[in-house]
Amino acid sequence: MSTLAAAYDAALFDLDGVIYLGPHAIDGVPEALARLAAGGTKLGYVTNNAARTPGQVAQHLRELGIPATDDDVVNSTQATIRMLQGRLPAGAKILPVGTSALVEQLAEVGFTPVDSLEAEPDAVVQGYHPQLPWNLLELGVIAIHRGAQWFATNPDQTRPTERGILPGCGAQIDLIASCVGYRPEMAGKPFRPLLDETVLRLDAEHPIFVGDRIDTDIIGAGNVGMDSLFVFTGAHGKYDLLTAEPVGRPTHIGADIAALLEPPRKLVEAGGQFACGDAVATVADGVVTMGEVPATYAGQLDALWAALNAAWSRDADATAVLDRLDLVQ
Ligand SMILES: [Mg+2]
C-alpha cells in the first residue's frame, strides 16, 4: 500500500518536538528524513524562532545527522521581511524593536533602520530580543501612537529553554499591545506568511505540514488550506486534539514523523460507527464509547483516530475513551 508521503510532493516540518527535543534528535528522525529524501519528497524546516539564523539551525540539523542546507530552513524573520516588502515602499524607515540581527536583515534588503522618533519611522518591526531595552519599547509605543505601522515576527508567548519556560516574542509584543490597544500583523505560525514563504522556497505544489502543536502548527496549516500530520513527540497530546476547534484538527495523526513512510490511517464511517484498524467508536446521546481497546501503541492510535473523528463529527464527548488509551499521552 502507498505511503502517506507518496500523496505529497513536499513535507514541511516544525522543529522542536518534531525533529528534535532541545539539543537531541528524536529517535529515528534522521533515518526517516533520509528515507523521505531518497524517495523524492522535498523537505523544508520551518521555525517561528528567530533568535537563531537559518544557517545556525541548519548547522544544528547537520550535527544531528540530518543533511539540511541553509536554504532548507525558513524562519519567521525571513517571512516577516517578505511581508514587509509587500506592504512598505523600498527604503521605508523602520524602527526595529529587536536584536542587531534584525536591524542588519532589514538593512540588507534595502529598508532604512532608524533608532529615533526624530527620524519619523514609517513602521515598527518587533522581533524577539533576549535583553530587550526598555527605552526601545518606549520608542516603539510612541512611534505606533504617532501612526507608524506595526509588524512582528511571531506570536509565541513563551520559549522552552534548558533553564525553564521564559517569556517569548509574544510576551514582548504584549507590552506594547497593552499601551496601544491592538496587536501587530505577524508573519510566524499560525499566520500565513511563514508557510507561504516555505512553499515558495521549496516550489511545492501539494505539501503536508508536520507539527506537534495545535495552536501554531495545525492551525497554521489549516489557515493556508494545507494538509497536516500531528505527531506525539512534542508539546500537545490526545486531549488537546479532542478539544481542538475545527481548523486545528489535523488531516492525519502519527506517533512520529516515520508515519510519513507508512500507509495513512483509514477511517470508515457508517451509521454512527467510526472504524479505524481494529477499533470501532460508537456515538450515542452525545457520548463516544468503545468496546475493548487495543493493547498496542499503534492499535491505540487507531482507536484514538476513530474516537476523535466520532467526537468531532457529532460534537460528542470522547474523554472516557481517551482515558482508557493508556499508551498514548
Ligand atoms: Mg514544535
Q: How far apart are CA 154 and CA 252, in angstroms?
A: 25
Distance from Cα 131 to the centre of ligand 1, integer Å: 24
In sequence order, what are the beta bridge partners of 290?
A: 281
Q: What is the pLDDT of residues 292-324, one digit of tens each?
A: 999 999 999 999 999 999 999 999 999 999 999
- Dihedral, 63, 67, 71, 76 alpha carbons, nearest 10: -50
Distance 171 CA to ligand 1 centre (A): 18
CATH of 88-185, one of 3.20.20.70, 3.40.50.1000, 3.40.50.300, 3.30.70.260: 3.40.50.1000
What pLDDT does residue 166 have? 86
Mean pLDDT of the chain: 95
Q: For residue range 147-188, list pLDDT tens digits in order.
A: 999 999 999 888 877 788 889 999 999 999 999 999 999 999
Catalytic amino acids?
14, 16
What's the CA-to-centroid distance between 211 and ligand 1, angstroms?
Answer: 6
Looking at residue 22, its pLDDT comes to 80
Q: Which one-letter amino acid corresponds to residue 324?
A: R
Cα of 48 to ligand 1 centre, how many Å?
Answer: 9
- Would you state the pLDDT for residue 303? 98
Give the rounded percent of residues in the chain with a pLDDT score beyond 70: 100
Question: Mean of the pLDDT values across residues 180-202?
Answer: 96
Render pLDDT for 202-257 as a digit per residue (tens, 0 to 9): 999 999 999 999 999 999 999 999 999 999 999 899 999 999 999 999 999 999 99
Interatomic CA distance for residues 255 and 325, integer angstroms? 14
Centre of ligand 1 from the C-alpha of residue 282, in Å: 32
Phi first, then psi: give them for residue 248, nearest 5 degrees: -100, 15
Q: What angle do CA 147, 89, 221 make, to 5 degrees?
A: 85
Q: How far is CA 70 from CA 55, 56, 77, 201, 211, in A?
A: 5, 8, 14, 12, 20
Say what the pLDDT of residue 1 is.
79
Mean predicted confidence (pLDDT) in 82-96: 97
Give the pLDDT band (50/70/90) at residue 23.
Answer: confident
Equal CATH topology for 5-76+190-261 and 88-185: yes
pLDDT (mean) for 81-94: 96
Q: Give the chain's end-to-end CA distance (angstroms, integer).
A: 28
Residue 217 DSSP one-character state: I
> What percentage of the chain has pLDDT greater than the value 90?
90
The Å distance, Cα 216 to ligand 1 centre, comes to: 8
Does 3.40.50.1000 match the CATH number of domain 5-76+190-261?
Answer: yes
Q: Ligand 1 centre and the CA of 292: distance in Å?
A: 33
- Using the CB atoms, write b or e for 62-99: b if 16+ within 10 Å: eebebebeeebbbbbbbbbbbbbeeebeeebbbbbbbb
What is the pLDDT averaged over residues 273-283?
Answer: 97
CA of 16 to the centre of ligand 1 (A): 4
| Amino acid, res. 161 | T
Confidence (pTM): 0.91
- Tell me what pLDDT residue 53 has: 85
Average pLDDT for residues 110-136, to the nearest whole number? 96
Higher local confidence (pLDDT), 271 or 132: 132
Cα–Cα nearest to 211, from 200, 202, 222: 222
Q: Give the H or E element holding residue 187.
A: none
Is the pLDDT reported for residue 116 higher than 90? yes
pLDDT at 89 over 90: yes
Round to whole Å and give the CA distance between 11 and 43: 5
- Domain locations in the chain? 5-76+190-261, 88-185, 268-324
